[in-house]
Structures are given as structure tokens and as C-alpha cells.
Amino acid sequence: HNEREKDSYRNPDIIPQRAAWNVHFKKPTASYTDLFSQLESDGTISTRGLKPDATHYCELVFDVNSAYFDNHGGYEFAKQFYADAYKAAIQIVGGEQYILSAVMHADEINRAMTEALGREVYHYHLHVVYVP
């Protein structure tokens, strides 16, 4: 879902033609499972003592009201805002080495604001997938 690799989505607000507007602050170079294995083999993380049902991935979602971005410059403002949020995420999770993916979605329309304003308004938000 976060990487927009599926052919279709259950969320009707996703506009596939806008996927190119999404911004990866850290793009995964392989599957999350493969990246996790690489972190383990590199010695960055250890799975010693983990229970079989342990959580391997967590996600932070930074989400702000669409009107805030619309009132402050839209897409360009959102990109800078979430670049700064990504820096905060690095601190929150303990280092960039634990982050598998960080992507700002710019391809989800805010239908209510679009209808109210008579022009397209998008719901910008940031997904950060990391190893806890």
C-alpha cells in the first residue's frame, strides 16, 4: 500500500495517475522482509530472544489537516513540512538505519474539500515504516 505497487486499491480516494507526485524520503531497495533480513545479517539488529509472534515492523503516520497545507502553499509546502517530519522520525526511531521506507502520499484526494472549494485538494501525509 505505502509503495503504491498494487494494481488497484480499496481506498477510492487514491488517484493512481498522481502516484508520481508521491515523495520518497527513503525508498526501499527491496521488500521489507528482505531489508529486515539484511539488517539482521549486517548486525544492525538482533532477533535473539524474539518471540515467534513478535512485531518486526512498525509504522509512524504523520497526518495534518488538508486545509493547513492548502492554506500554506499546497504540495510544495507539504513536501518541506514532511521533509522536516522525516528528520523527526529519524530521531524518534533511533536512527535512519532502522527506517525501511518513508513516503509522502500526494495521490489521495480530499473529496469533501474538493467539493466545497470546487477544485482538487489532496490529502498529504507521511508513512514511515521502521524496525522497532
In tens, the pLDDT along 3-28 reads: 777 666 678 899 989 999 999 999 99
Whether residue 11 is contained in a domain is answered as no
The domain total for the chain is 1
Residue type, 15: I
Structural domain contains residue 120: yes
**Residue 3 is assigned to a structural domain of this protein:** no
**Structure pTM?**
0.91
In terms of C-beta distances under 8 Å and separation of at least 24 residues, what long-range contacts does 42-45 make, across chains too?
44/97, 44/98, 45/98, 45/131
Sequence-distant (6+) residues with CB within 8 A of 86 are: 25, 26, 102, 126, 128
Q: What is the mean pLDDT of residues 61-71?
A: 96
